[in-house]
Amino acid sequence: MSLYNMTIDGGETTAASWFDVVNPATGEVFAQAPQCTQDQLDDAIASAARAFVSWGVSDDSVRRAALQGIANALIAAQLELAELVTKEQGKPLMAAAFEVTETARWFSYFAELPLQPETLQDDARGQAVFVRRPLGVVAAITPWNFPLLLLGMKLAPALLAGNTIVLKPSPFTPLSTLAAGRIIAGHLPPGVLNVVSGGDALGAWMTGHPTVRKISFTGSVATGKAVAAAASPDLKRITLELGGNDAAIVLDDADPSRVAAGIFWGAFTNNGQICAGIKRVYVPDRLHDAVVEALAERARRARVGNGMDDGVQLGPINNKPQFERVSSLVADALADGALAAAGGHAMDRPGYFFEPTILHEAREGMRIVDEEQFGPALPVLRYSDLDEAIARANATPYGLSGSVWSSDEERAARVAARLDCGSAYVNTHLVVQPHLPFGGWKWSGIGTENGPWGLDAFCSLQVRYCPRGRS
């Protein structure tokens, strides 16, 4: 059984107890991760606070060099990290390898992002300069769907700004973060990055700790609300990247087989376990049957299997509770009148495999339409009037992203402009880039990641004003 250590104060730290890590492709335990104690968390946070004293005022060229060194080191460890991601998360090895390069890309991007003071006023009355100062100790908490990419989206801007960090992965996918954390910490002074692992209680200890000045959280809406509540007594800064229920709207001029490819992968990438993936599709009556059939055809053809095997496109669902949730959402929809054009059932094999599923005759009021399914099952809903479809797409507490599919880009862009969400796409979905602001409206989150906006989220903004002609 492989054991993995935490990184606290620059050194490898073991634990008195361990928890099991399951390979979702087999359903079997294949490794154990350390169960961080409250005392060890206190040590990690104290170490981060000590490290902040010098890291927070270090020259930004030092921090940029560290970020670029981290990017290079992650690429050098690509295969080792990708295999861990596949074993604990389930995604195909090629997708895991891509996740590693994407993570490195975030570090490289922030290594170059300007951080210089900006002069806002320089005239006879005075000079105003605007600077970004680091916040202090950051608690970074990640979910299980993209364990490495999501840590990159937090760590890279937090480190550039001069913060120090305690990072906690999901208990379902701790290993790749523990391994990447050791690599990343090796490019930083001791204590600048500490990586701890444990269950949900560990996350709650982190968010309630008085030394922490900022919580950067990615996960579910329910936990996000608990994090916001935990942050409020100390008025800690928060960035919350939460769930989504993205709608795709197909316009009546679309070519069904062309849009089906984009919509299918917009929904089924990472086996549907993606916050900003398509979760509902609105199709006009005229195109309904053709779009359903084109999506179903792709679902039937998708190669599902163990992510370590060649040619696999979709892996298992990551964990048993999520597998049971997706199974029950699909079963409820079928019992409620939806029809499966493809899939509809768990697969008869070990692990947490579910058939890629296309449901039609779905409607609002079904849980799979109203809630975030976060798995390989996509409901298709009919519409007859476009205004009504837009209103239905927006009638959700979520607001992460949405897309419009059409042969007429300008028309689609006018519809996209009416979607209430942080990212509105035309003829595509799932475009998350280091330079593009990413964040959710409504219950999908608070704050923004990526680009200068994501950097500002890890900074205290300070105006330095000096009047002229008074001395």
Residues belonging to the active site: 241
For ligand NAD, the nearest residue by Cβ is 203
Can residue 147 be called a binding residue for ligand NAD (CB under 6 A)? no
Pick the closer one to ligand NAD by CB: 184 or 242.
Answer: 242
Instruction: Name the DSSP class of 36.
Output: -
**Token pair in block for residue 55:** 């890291």
Can residue 218 be called a binding residue for ligand NAD (CB under 6 A)? yes
Can residue 223 be called a binding residue for ligand NAD (CB under 6 A)? yes
Can residue 170 be called a binding residue for ligand NAD (CB under 6 A)? yes
Q: Out of 242, 287, 291, 340, which residue is the one contacting ligand NAD (CB under 6 A)?
A: 242
Can residue 334 be called a binding residue for ligand NAD (CB under 6 A)? no
Can residue 372 be called a binding residue for ligand NAD (CB under 6 A)? yes
Quote the CA–CA distance of 237 and 228 in Å, as a whole number: 9
Can residue 241 be called a binding residue for ligand NAD (CB under 6 A)? yes
Can residue 243 be called a binding residue for ligand NAD (CB under 6 A)? yes
Quote the CA–CA distance of 272 and 266 in Å, as a whole number: 8
Give residue 368's Cα distance to chain centre: 21
What residues between 397 and 436 interact with ligand NAD by CB under 6 A?
Answer: 400
Q: Out of 147, 157, 162, 219, which residue is the one contacting ligand NAD (CB under 6 A)?
A: 219
Q: Residues near 301 by Cβ (< 8 Å), separated by ≥ 6?
A: none
Instruction: Compute the least distance from the CB of residue 208 to ligand NAD, in Å.
Output: 8
Pick the closer one to ligand NAD by CB: 99 or 361.
Answer: 99
Instruction: Compute the least distance from the CB of residue 311 to ligand NAD, in Å.
Output: 26
Quote the CA–CA distance of 188 and 66 in Å, as a whole number: 7
Instruction: Compute the least distance from the CB of residue 107 to ligand NAD, in Å.
Output: 18
Q: Which stretch binds ligand NAD (CB under 6 A): 66-74, 141-149, 158-166, 339-347?
A: 141-149
Can residue 143 be called a binding residue for ligand NAD (CB under 6 A)? yes
Instruction: Compute the least distance from the CB of residue 439 to ligand NAD, in Å.
Output: 8
Can residue 266 be called a binding residue for ligand NAD (CB under 6 A)? no
Can residue 220 be called a binding residue for ligand NAD (CB under 6 A)? yes
Instruction: Determine the residue type at 263.
Output: I
Quote the CA–CA distance of 379 and 281 in Å, as a whole number: 6
Pick the closer one to ligand NAD by CB: 136 or 243.
Answer: 243
Quote the CA–CA distance of 256 and 298 in Å, as a whole number: 12
Mask 109-128, x = binds ligand NAD (CB under 6 A)? Answer: --------------------
Can residue 236 be called a binding residue for ligand NAD (CB under 6 A)? no
CA nearest neighbour of 209 among 301, 279, 304, 139: 139
Can residue 204 be called a binding residue for ligand NAD (CB under 6 A)? yes
Mask 73-112, x = binds ligand NAD (CB under 6 A)? Answer: ----------------------------------------
Pick the closer one to ligand NAD by CB: 321 or 337.
Answer: 321
Instruction: Compute the least distance from the CB of residue 432 to ligand NAD, in Å.
Output: 8
- What would the DSSP string read from start to end of 224-257? HHHHHHHHGGGT-EEEEE----EEEEE-TT--HH
Instruction: Determine the residue type at 313.
Output: Q
Instruction: Name the DSSP class of 423.
Output: E
Strand partners, 446: 240
CA nearest neighbour of 1 among 15, 20, 25: 20
Q: Residues near 271 by Cβ (< 8 Å), separated by ≥ 6?
A: 90, 91, 314, 315, 316, 317, 375, 376
Pick the closer one to ligand NAD by CB: 170 or 406.
Answer: 170
Instruction: Determine the residue type at 248.
Output: A
Integer CA distances (angstroms), 386 to 120, 245, 249, 286, in order: 45, 19, 9, 12
Can residue 451 be called a binding residue for ligand NAD (CB under 6 A)? no
Instruction: Compute the least distance from the CB of residue 285 to ligand NAD, in Å.
Output: 31
Kind of pairing, strands 459-467 and 126-134?
A: antiparallel
Quote the CA–CA distance of 2 and 33 in Å, as a whole number: 9
Instruction: Compute the least distance from the CB of residue 324 to ligand NAD, in Å.
Output: 13
Can residue 275 be called a binding residue for ligand NAD (CB under 6 A)? yes
Q: Which stretch binds ligand NAD (CB under 6 A): 166-174, 178-186, 247-255, 282-290?
A: 166-174
Cβ pair 178, 150 in contact under 8 A = no
Q: Residues near 459 by Cβ (< 8 Å), separated by ≥ 6?
A: 132, 133, 134, 135, 161
Count of chain residues binding ligand NAD (CB under 6 A)? 28
Pick the closer one to ligand NAD by CB: 162 or 181.
Answer: 181
> Count of H helices and E strands in the chain?
15, 21
Can residue 177 be called a binding residue for ligand NAD (CB under 6 A)? no
Residues near ligand NAD (CB under 6 A) are 141-145, 168, 170-171, 200, 203-204, 207, 218-220, 223, 226-227, 241-244, 275, 372, 374, 400, 440, 445
